[in-house]
Each structure stands twice: as structure tokens, then as C-alpha cells.
Copies of this chain bind each other. A is one copy, B any other.
Amino acid sequence: MKAEIISIGTELLLGEIVDTNTPYLAGQLSVLGIDLYFTSAVGDNMARLKGVLKQAWDRSDIVLTTGGIGPTQDDLTRDAIAALLGEKTEVDPQLKQGLINFFARRGLEMPASNVRQATLIPSCTALINSQGTAPGWWVEKEGKIIVAMPGPPGEMQYMWENQVLPRLQERTGAVLLTRMIKTFGTSEAKVDEMLSDLTASTNPTLATYAKLDGIYIRIAAKAEKKEEAQKMVDSREADVRAILGDIIWGVDDDTQEAVAGKVLLEKGLSLAVAESFTGGFLAHTLAADANSAHYFKGGLIAASSEVKVALGLDPKLVNGEDKAEVARAMAVLARQKLEATVGIGIEGEGHSEPESGMMAGTVFIAIDSEKAGLHAVQSYSGRLYQMKRRAAYYALFDLVKLLRA
């Protein structure tokens, strides 16, 4: 089965927005095992839109479109599909009432132009849009499928997951399940090498992705029934865990900060941080976690040696050579000053590497807790611009590992 994606909207051709719908849908199709050979973008112009649709209809089995289904005269997707198939759009009374109700709930009258969003053609069924006013279209004719979805990524993804994906899975007679396994501290090349016995498999498949907070591994399994796909994913996850072991820190929507928070809460601990090298990135990351009010106390950010001294550190220590000891003193200071049971201290320095000329950063991460009996310091090096953020993830990863040890 061959698919094609068309993004519709003049704003795409002016470079005003980045099209994230196409890569999202491309990733979904890849996981579904549906071949994608072409993607394209076209403006709000009837002749050109019809041309692009016609070409896609001729050469592909499934055409996915995003955009152009709003209420204005510029929104041409519905009319272009109708013209391509030689059908006529008509207002659907039920859809129209739904739109009237949508506006009424907001104390508004439906603008007359919105009635365009209540139109259908004989070959199409409406896809409910619970996130906006534009229903999608599911069109089936001559063994081919066109799916018209809204342009705003939130609306599009919700409709894809809840309305389009289940229908496609029905058509392809396959249920597809995925799981993302998240690791930290090992390079993508090394993870690939460790998993090389598993990557040849075509079902389930494995794919790796490099992110700031580590290497992700996506497991995707296709089966006739959900239970079957679930079993395949679970079993492959067990294989991956047996190989990768404790470099895995989470799955799917997990974040390192949320995982660390969960472990802290389980152990009845609270956290405070003192940062120089990362300049508040760790505190910001922790504070942004929805649950952090229950375990995160706060942070001390020191941009210079003088400030470290002003906050209470020993001047001799601060100005000395032993950065590991500075990190340790910072962890203790944060824990004590902010009345937490665990303290993290991050100290570091940048330097240019003589061989490569690359700017490298070395970071010292101390984790200190009287209550949990932890007094650890680790150091890591890497590219300077990356380390200024990655150091926060080293700290969270180390914290979880130590608390679980």
C-alpha cells in the first residue's frame, strides 16, 4: 500500500511556519508499514491544489491531506476533492447542528461562513474534530482513500489517533502498537551495536533516536489482534531490557525529572540543587515537572566564584583546583540551605581540546544525602555547548541510579 502526504496552505510556502504534520504522519505511516514515496506542499490555489491531488490520486493508494478545511474562502481542500472525484458538496444537517451547538456553548452565534465546514460529498464520511470546528473527511472510492485533516498540529494529531489510525488499522487488517524505551549515557552507535541481533527483525521493528536526554529505542509490532501486538511489544521490550540493563531510565512519555521525582517521593526524600555550570537549567527542568511541588525545594544558582563564597562556601575551596570537592560542597549547601534531604551540586569548566580544537566541557556532579546515605561525585566530559544542558540529565540519571541501588 502506497501513501502520499499533501500539506495545504499558502503560509507554508512563505516560510512562515514549519510543517511538523508531515514528519509526524510520515513516522506513523512508517510504523504502520505503509510505504510513503512522496510528500508535497501546495498553496491555497484551486488549480494547483487540484493538480497535486490528481497526481497523488493517480499514483498512490492513500492520500493524507492537512490544512485547508477551515471556514474561509481560502479553505479549498473540500472543494478540490469534490472536483477531483466529480462529486457535489452538500450541507449535512447533523454536522451543521453540531457546529451551531459548538458556538452556542460559547454564547456565540455560528458565523455564516462556518456552514462550509458542515458539507460532505457522497463518497465521504465526517471525522469528528473534538478539538476544533473543522470535521475531517474520510473518502473512499475505487479502492482508494483520501483523508482530509485539519492543519493545526494538535487537532490533526488528535483526529489521526482517534479517528484515522483505527480505520486504517481496520483496512490493513493490522493493529500496530509501539513503545519507546529511553536510555542515557551510551552513544547511539553503541546502543545500535548492542541491539544488532534484534534490529534485523521486521516485526517487531526497532529504531533508535538521539535526543538531548539520551538515546530512545522505538519498538513497533504489527499483529491481527491487539493482544497479540501487545505480547510482541512486551516480549521485545524484555529482550531490549536484558541487553541494555540499567542504562534504561523510562518508557513512552516518561521524563527524567518525573522519574527522579517518583523515586524521591517513594523514598520520602526532597531535593534541592546548586548549579554553576548549568546556570539554572536543572532547577528550571525540575520546576517544570507537574509533580515537582511535592519533592523539589528550589535551587541556588552561582554564576561566579564570588557568589559561591557569598552563598556560604569556603573561599579556599572555591578558588582551589579540586572541582569535585566544590561540587560536593555545593550539594551539601543546597540541601542545608533549602531544607531538603537530598542535594545536587553541579560545577564545571570549559576548555578547548588541543587535538580537535573543539570546545569541551567537564562537569562534576555531586549527590549528597545524609538521610539516604549518599555522598557521590562523578565527572563527565563532552562538547561544551551540549554539556551545559546535558549535565542536568547526567545529574538526574545518576540520582535515580544511586537511589535505586
Contact = CB atoms under 8 A, between A and B. Distances in A.
Contact of A13 (B26, B302, B306): B26
A52 interface: yes
A110 B390 CA distance: 33
- The A interface is mostly helix, strand or loop, or mixed, namely mixed
Interface stretch (A74-82, A284-292, A317-325): A284-292
Contacts of A127: none
A165 interface: no
A30 B15 contact: yes
A12 B26 contact: yes
A333 to B, nearest CB: 12
Contacts of A28: 15
Contacts of A297: 302-304, 306-307
A237 interface: no
B288 A388 contact: yes
Contact of A303 (B37, B43, B293, B307): B293
Nearest to A281: B284
Interface string A271-307: 0110000111111101110001100111111111011
Contacts of A20: 18
Given A41-B40, A301-B301, A311-B338, A15 B23 contact: yes
A380 interface: no
A41 B209 CA distance: 21
Contacts of A42: 37-38
23 contacts: A12-B26, A14-B30, A15-B25, A15-B28, A15-B29, A16-B209, A17-B23, A37-B43, A38-B42, A38-B52, A40-B41, A272-B307, A280-B281, A281-B287, A293-B303, A293-B304, A296-B303, A298-B301, A298-B311, A301-B301, A307-B338, A307-B339, A310-B338
